Homo-oligomer: A and B are copies of this chain.
């Protein structure tokens, strides 16, 4: 049960805006999508857009975060183990490949930040559950380092062509597991 119920109109309108962005992003590059495009596709007023989002960049981040979140398929049964790393790595590499022809220059930093932030939340949640008595700050640092590490691995993976993402992450999991679990 949600502790705080969101107004259904807000849910619907945000859904309309997010879906409009996703639809438009399959038709044109991110930098060519305007707030006007969004409002036409979603059939909402421009003032309504600004009621929900700061600007087009705010929407891009939130929309991409949601897309990644869906790919990550987070669930409460996640444990800090090999399966988690494999799933997470496949999700972020899939995410990056899906974006590679929609946003060239200028979005790498945004995407990188979105990926790291999502990973950090996941790792922190899992670590918190497995080590409830540990210092919160230490868990934050650990999850932050892990997210950077996984992200760095994905960048390295992209630079090579001989291994699938699953093969690649499996080859580096021993380096991840040592010193954590």
Q: Which residues of A contact B (CB under 8 A)?
A: 8, 12, 43-45
What chain B residues lie within 8 Å of A12 (beta carbons)? Answer: 12, 43
Interface SS majority for chain A: loop
What chain B residues lie within 8 Å of A43 (beta carbons)? Answer: 8, 12
Distance A44 CA – B8 CA, assembled complex (angstroms): 7
Distance A8 CA – B16 CA, assembled complex (angstroms): 12
Find the B residue at minimum CB distance from A8. B43
Find the B residue at minimum CB distance from A42. B8
What chain B residues lie within 8 Å of A45 (beta carbons)? Answer: 8
Distance A8 CA – B41 CA, assembled complex (angstroms): 13
Find the B residue at minimum CB distance from A9. B9
The minimal Cβ–Cβ distance linking A143 to chain B, given in whole angstroms, is 36
Distance A44 CA – B11 CA, assembled complex (angstroms): 12
The minimal Cβ–Cβ distance linking A51 to chain B, given in whole angstroms, is 14
The minimal Cβ–Cβ distance linking A43 to chain B, given in whole angstroms, is 5
